[in-house]
Structure 1
Amino acid sequence: MTIREQVSRTVDRGTDGDDSAVDVGLTLLAAAIAAVLVLPLTWLVVDAAGLGVRAFELAVAPKSIDVLVRSVALVAVVTGASVLLGVPLAVLTVQGEIPFPRFWTVLAALPLAVPSYLGAFAFVSAFGPQGELADLLAPLGIESIPSVYGFAGAAFVLTLYTYPYVFLTTRAALLSFDGSLVEAARTLNTGRWEAFRRITFPQILPGITAGALLVALYALSDFGTPNIMRVEVFTQFIYARHVFARDYAALLSLQLLTVSAIILAIESRLGVDESGAYESSSHRGSIGLELGAWRYPALLLPIVVSLLAIVLPIAIFGMWLTTGGPGYQVGRLTFSWEYGVNSAYVAVLAAAVSVLVALPIAIASVTADSRLAALANRVPYVGYATPGVVLALALLSFTLDVFPAIYKTVPLLVFAYVVRFMPQAIGSIRTSTLQVDRQLVEAAHTLGRSRLNTFRTVTLPLILPGVAAGAALVFLTTMKELPATLMLRPLGFETLVTFIWRVEETGLYGQAAVPALVLICISGLSMAVIVAQEGR
């Protein structure tokens, strides 16, 4: 063996040992971060345990059961309606022979840019007992219109602003679908709808269930829309009791977390067989849906949905901005741009911290081949599936009992945002890391560069788009978060969403015009991120 070969083998052994040590250290760091993020949630058990034997009595009390049944029913109705609306729109924009399909795709996805509680705000203002529609009909002798409040109104509004989750995931599945499978079935004299039922639907089912999962978790955790529509569900029930009955609120929160876990389990069972669901070797999504005379009438579906979900709220808020609304001139609440600065300030902090803590978790899940690294990657998603009101209650209890110095401070508020939305950054960074060419990394290693130097000079520049996309998503979702902000913000710290909520509670709707339009514009940027990701 030559001296050069001996040196090379020694260097390789040293490099392998260093790489192994780095992987272990990175995995331990990722696991520690994941544990810290979910630790406060365990405090709900501590609080609920204080009820003793009364816990079971309260859990099965008629009022608790009533709220549970109503919450589950709302989730079921909204999820089912979103599937019935989102799947046809996805099929129409991918396979339907309609003019300007890209335009209708963007239009069908845009309701995600409007926070659902702003949509509820606009619907109450337009169709409420003293709304714009009632004023228009009054001269015609129509003194009353059907109430927009209640279970049906809440389900309708939530469906309008959550169906795009199903639409986008189903559309992605259709775009990656091998159209030759349907063509083969049609040559065997299989009817159009039979081919869809037996071939297309099973292939896109994982995409449908993925979107339905997001809809169900959103409907279960939403606080603003049911409150505005006067429907008492778990989130309102917990919020109303978190100050004076903390232990009872903790018990209710555990029940809500249990429902979230059941939803996750159902989704995993429905989407368990994904083999080949997105695989294709030929023309993807190429089967056209022959609409014939229905080509233009079919466009009524995206048009009506867009009018209700996008045009209506923008028109209502724009009208208030130009002509004033209820309480616009006489209300004591005054909007200040400082609220917008506060919103941006905490959102920037949340985005920055989320990226910093997501990086080691995402990198470890890709580079470290261990169960601990995989677990550290999955555990933070518990926070994402936790409703904001439940997370806020857990953090309030934890800080009161353990760290009172940070009770209702900006650091605590930012920590809540990180726990809630950091998985968005993990997913984006991990996807970008998986796309890095391993040969480039190996080439840097052969040139004697350390793991840290290789990451800094090779990997990081390549994954920066994913890092930026993750930070943008965390920033934009943080700007819209309502219950956690209401419960955890420092005294006197107002943001766009808290000001809007104060306006709604006092009935001075007109003063919500500016912050509502600002939020819609900012939320619209999230759609740009989603569309850009689809384009990539």
Structure 2
Amino acid sequence: MVQPRLPRAPRRLAALGVAIAVLFAAPMGFLVVRTAGLGGDTVLETLTDDALTPLLWSLGLGAAVALSAAAIGVGLAWCTTRTDLPGRRAAAVLGPLPLVVPSYVGAAALVAGFAPGGLVADLVSPLGITPPEIGGFWGAWFVLSAFSYPYVYLPVAARLAELPPSLEESARLLGRGPRQVFTSVVLPQARTAVAAGTLLVFLYTISDFGAVSIMGAPTLTNEIFQAKLVPELWLPLASLLGAVALVVVAAERALARRRVAVSGVQVRRAMQVPLGRWRWPVALVVWGWFGAALAAPVLVLVLWVVRGVLGAGSPSATVLAPGGLLAPAASTVGVSVAAALATMALVLPVAYLTVRYRSRAGGTANTVVVGAFALPGLVVALALVFWTLKADALAWLYQTIPLLVFAYTVHFGAQGLRAAQVAVGSVPTRFDDAGAVLGASRSRRLRTIDLPLMARGLGAGLGLVLLSAMKELPATLLLAPPGFETLATRIWAASDSHQLAQLGVASLVLLALSGPLTWVLVIRPGRRR
């Protein structure tokens, strides 16, 4: 079934979309310019000899992680928003938190936990059990699934919480059971959110370096980082990664045009499904997952801290001094909140162009914004360094907070855009039409009608960008002002010097900050509606 024909976009909005696309095209433009300078023979030789196996690894791992993260994210979103799950409010806060754990920290904690002398080994060795070695494809798959499912969870939870209950009530009156109602009524209305989150997981997976490097998975990103000092190798590989992202985004966009948009906003409390005799078994599965994906890495981090502090003569105890992490924590919150707000402000016009209007400018901007997310943070940072130093008028921006915030915005813009598109699509256009008939200007309709109804969905996008920016490392190392530290750079410094106690403390502080911020900026605004 094909969507109704959309109106043409207003010229000003289309022009704004073009300007936003130009801003987000900086990384892709950098790759095109630098790769073209290598010569066709060099590029072809690299892609022929060194790219096939890493490409297949990246695509296979990306597909596997995307499917598992979609299942986990949808299941948790439904349990925390639409059921009488025991402790579901606490689960709603814990649900997004794995996203803030840097993938390399999670992978290192998992490997250390199963290694001799690790937490798991200590627990099972008295029973005569030898824990398996963690690594390779399945190790990377588990780690990335555990820490990327919030890309699906947040937008889907926001959508499920605001669905009008009328269709579900009608289905119940027609004799359909809870499972049939979910598959035939609820899931189709949340399909856009599921597709948006799943695409983000796929792009995140093919761009990840931390987890795949620790697990020894030979993906494209791993090859790019290993060849980072040889432009003749890493530039063609990075360009290939960008091309894959653009093809995937364009294909997803083409499929999205063939789907019927289902809009609706909550006028009454969303229907709650009693789990009945499955209440405690489902709770066991949900809280067991949180134990494996969140509590287990946290326990390993705590173990590192305890062992480091109690070690004789260990300098790690100095990290526990009051105020030791105060400045990095404040810096982390400040730049991450600024990046999240800037991102949502920039991607909202693109969301309107792609959802409400028929616009080539919107389609181009959508492809460019989402495609940038598939590139490693190092490539995005190098691109901004290249353009700022190449243009004399922009040289003053190098290693400044505004450029760092812009790098976060470019790198994580896809997260905000996908959530914004779901939010815009959930508001029926008849509300806007009614406001226009009553004489309200476009800006007033946006302020008084659209934004309040989109608050929950936009909050999900804000949370995704915020949590991702808090753990970003390569862009921070290259673009931050001298002496500027975040918790991510502290974690990296501790990891580089093998100070496990300091790494653990900084990681725990990062998690402790993300919980309240997620509640204040994402969950609480939606509950006030």
Classify the TM-score, shorter chain: 0.7 to 0.9
1:120-519 equivalent positions in 2, closer than 5 A: 120-138=107-125, 144-175=130-161, 176=163, 178-180=167-169, 182-183=171-172, 186=175, 201-242=187-228, 244-268=229-253, 271-275=256-260, 277-279=262-264, 286=271, 288=273, 291-292=276-277, 294-324=278-308, 330=314, 336-337=324-325, 338-344=327-333, 346-347=335-336, 350=339, 354=343, 361=349, 371=359, 374=362, 378=366, 379-399=368-388, 405=395, 409-410=399-400, 411-422=402-413, 474-489=465-480, 493-519=484-510
Q: Structure 1 stretch 428-437 or stretch 257-266: which is displaced more?
A: 428-437
Residues 203/284 of structure 1: CA separation in 2 closer, same or farther (3 Å cut):
farther
Residues 417/333 of structure 1: CA separation in 2 closer, same or farther (3 Å cut):
farther
1:37 aligns with 2:27: no
Match of 2:523 in 1: 531
**1:34-92 deviations in whole A, cap 9, x for unaligned?**
3133134212112222142121221121x422211111121111112223333333444
**1:94-135 deviations in whole A, cap 9, x for unaligned?**
555544544444444443354443332332332234422324
Q: Alignment partner of 1:524: what SS?
A: helix
Residues 377/76 of structure 1: CA separation in 2 closer, same or farther (3 Å cut):
closer
Q: Alignment partner of 1:159: what SS?
A: helix
1:477 CA drift (Å):
3.2
| Conservation of the 8 A alpha-carbon contact between 1:326 and 1:507 | no
1:348 CA drift (Å):
5.8
Taking structure 1 as the reference length, the TM-score comes to 0.75
1:365 CA drift (Å):
5.5
Question: 1:247, 1:409 → 2: CA distance?
Answer: 26
1:112 aligns with 2:96: no
Taking structure 2 as the reference length, the TM-score comes to 0.76
Instruction: For 1:309, give the aligned amino acid.
Output: A
**1:470-512 deviations in whole A, cap 9, x for unaligned?**
7776554322212322444466654321221232234321111
Question: 1:458, 1:170 → 2: CA distance?
Answer: 24
**Aligned pairs, number:** 500
Instruction: For 1:59, give the aligned amino acid.
Output: L
Residues 84/474 of structure 1: CA separation in 2 closer, same or farther (3 Å cut):
closer
1:210 CA drift (Å):
2.4
1:246 CA drift (Å):
1.9
Question: 1:202, 1:414 → 2: CA distance?
Answer: 36
CA RMSD of aligned residues (A): 4.7
| Conservation of the 8 A alpha-carbon contact between 2:156 and 2:194 | yes
Q: Alignment partner of 1:186: what SS?
A: coil
Q: Alignment partner of 1:295: what SS?
A: helix
Question: 2:315, 2:508 → 1: CA distance?
Answer: 19
Residues 208/353 of structure 1: CA separation in 2 closer, same or farther (3 Å cut):
closer
| Conservation of the 8 A alpha-carbon contact between 1:321 and 1:513 | yes
Share of identical aligned residues, percent? 32
Contiguous gaps of at least 5 residues in structure 1 = 1-22, 446-450
Q: Alignment partner of 1:232: what SS?
A: coil
Question: 2:380, 2:447 → 1: CA distance?
Answer: 38
Match of 1:56 in 2: 44
Larger Rg: 1
Residues 388/296 of structure 1: CA separation in 2 closer, same or farther (3 Å cut):
same
1:79 aligns with 2:70: no
Contiguous gaps of at least 5 residues in structure 2 = 1-9
Residues 57/327 of structure 1: CA separation in 2 closer, same or farther (3 Å cut):
farther
| Conservation of the 8 A alpha-carbon contact between 2:73 and 2:150 | yes
Question: 2:376, 2:261 → 1: CA distance?
Answer: 33
Q: Alignment partner of 2:218: what SS?
A: coil
Question: 2:456, 2:84 → 1: CA distance?
Answer: 34
Residues 39/115 of structure 1: CA separation in 2 closer, same or farther (3 Å cut):
closer
1:155 CA drift (Å):
1.0
Question: 1:464, 1:298 → 2: CA distance?
Answer: 30
Residues 194/332 of structure 1: CA separation in 2 closer, same or farther (3 Å cut):
closer
